[in-house]
């Protein structure tokens, strides 16, 4: 595939977005003491979810009801609602598309680990997207000088340039969701960020892949600053074992960021299943459930247990 062809594939321009169908209702969190633990799920297509519940267990078993409907968990998701914000806290569950991200396995496992905790999840993800700005592509791939992603990236404000549209929307989404909790007189704490992204940079050029550590570090610093959460735990999903041309480089950079950041941890993904209709780049239903479980198992106990 040509460099430009690889770029288009990495940007997700060759595949349609998963459909959205409205199927949820306003929700209330489970009763109990302590603040809501609010987690953010963000990134590209493997945070969004390109799979289908009917493919669970190779289509041989029904998708577990305990995963499909989780009424005790609050969920705020505008990822599939461009043009129809639908900004409202709902009950976590599978929407009408049949697709889902790591939030289902994550919430279910987290409730198992911490049954007394109250959990809320804010999600904003967009397939085929990177942290790198198109204005910098000339440094990565000279042939792409002049390429314009129209700001559709996760890069924070830097070098006198405004933040990418996805970064701005992420921060706005989180603030809107938290403001809605305030309006309900809910107490809450930001408990963590689940970041599943990096395939974009892993598929474009070795220079961009080598820069991923710097890009990711800058992103995490900006998110923590803009959300006034300097110690926010970050759970970083490893780029999967699909044949990304520069995947090994990005995985190495992800591991380096986690070693250098006292509040970040890497979640391995190399053995997770990708045999579904979403294509070889995407976790299938089984792989996505397991990804969420792995995220939950590395959540620090300190952020979930109320002090005596």
Look at residues 158, 204, 160 and name the one whose alpha carbon lies nearest to residue 44. Answer: 204
Look at residues 236, 8, 227, 23 and name the one whose alpha carbon lies nearest to residue 127. Answer: 8
Does residue 43 form part of some domain?
yes
Does residue 271 form part of some domain?
yes
Rounded to an integer, the average pLDDT of 166-170 is: 97
Q: Indicate whether 230 pLDDT > 70.
A: yes
Does residue 72 form part of some domain?
yes
- The model's pTM: 0.88
Does residue 226 form part of some domain?
yes
Digit-coded pLDDT (tens) for 88-134: 899 999 999 999 999 999 999 999 999 999 999 999 999 989 998 87
Digit-coded pLDDT (tens) for 46-104: 999 999 999 999 999 999 999 999 999 999 998 765 544 556 899 999 999 999 999 99
Here the tokens at position 185 are: 């007189």
Our count of domains for the chain comes to 1
Q: Find tokens 């705020």 and name the residue.
A: 76
Does residue 125 form part of some domain?
yes
Here the tokens at position 58 are: 């190779």
Does residue 131 form part of some domain?
yes
- Which residue range is the domain that position 249 belongs to? 3-303
What pLDDT, on a 0 to 100 scale, did the predictor assign at position 79?
78
How far is 121 from 192, CA to CA, in rounded Å? Answer: 10
Are the beta carbons of 98 and 91 closer than 8 angstroms? no
Look at residues 205, 301, 211, 191 and name the one whose alpha carbon lies nearest to residue 256. Answer: 211
Rounded to an integer, the average pLDDT of 18-27 is: 36
Does residue 86 form part of some domain?
yes
Does residue 68 form part of some domain?
yes
What pLDDT, on a 0 to 100 scale, did the predictor assign at position 80?
63
Angle at 120 between CA 188 and CA 11, to 5 degrees: 120
Write the CATH number for 127.
Answer: 3.40.50.1110
């Amino acid at each position: 595939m040509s460099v430009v062809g690889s770029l288009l594939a990495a940007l997700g321009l060759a595949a349609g977005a998963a459909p959205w169908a409205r199927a949820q209702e306003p929700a209330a969190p489970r009763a109990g003491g302590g603040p809501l633990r609010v987690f953010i799920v963000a990134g590209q297509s493997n945070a969004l979810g390109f799979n289908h519940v009917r493919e669970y267990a190779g289509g041989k078993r029904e998708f577990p009801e305990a995963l499909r409907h989780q009424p005790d968990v609050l969920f705020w998701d505008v990822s599939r609602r461009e043009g129809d914000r639908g900004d409202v806290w709902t009950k976590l569950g599978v929407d009408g598309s049949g697709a889902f991200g790591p939030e289902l396995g994550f919430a279910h496992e987290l409730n198992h680990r911490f049954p007394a905790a109250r959990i809320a999840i804010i999600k904003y993800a967009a397939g085929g997207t990177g942290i790198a700005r198109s204005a910098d592509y000339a440094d990565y791939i000279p042939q792409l000088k002049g390429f314009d992603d129209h700001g559709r990236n996760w890069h924070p404000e830097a070098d006198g340039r405004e933040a990418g549209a996805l970064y701005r929307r992420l921060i706005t989404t989180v603030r809107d969701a938290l403001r809605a909790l305030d309006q309900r007189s809910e107490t809450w704490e930001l408990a963590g960020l689940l970041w599943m992204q990096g395939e974009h940079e892993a598929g474009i050029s070795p220079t961009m892949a080598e820069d991923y550590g710097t890009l990711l570090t800058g992103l995490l610093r900006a998110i923590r600053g803009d959300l006034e959460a300097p110690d926010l735990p970050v759970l970083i999903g490893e780029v999967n074992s699909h044949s990304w041309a520069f995947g090994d480089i990005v995985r190495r950079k992800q591991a380096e960021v986690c070693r250098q950041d006292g509040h970040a941890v890497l979640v391995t993904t190399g053995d997770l299943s990708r045999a579904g209709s979403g294509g070889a780049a995407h976790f299938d239903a089984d792989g996505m459930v397991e990804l969420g479980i792995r995220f939950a198992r590395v959540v620090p106990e300190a952020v979930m247990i109320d002090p005596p």
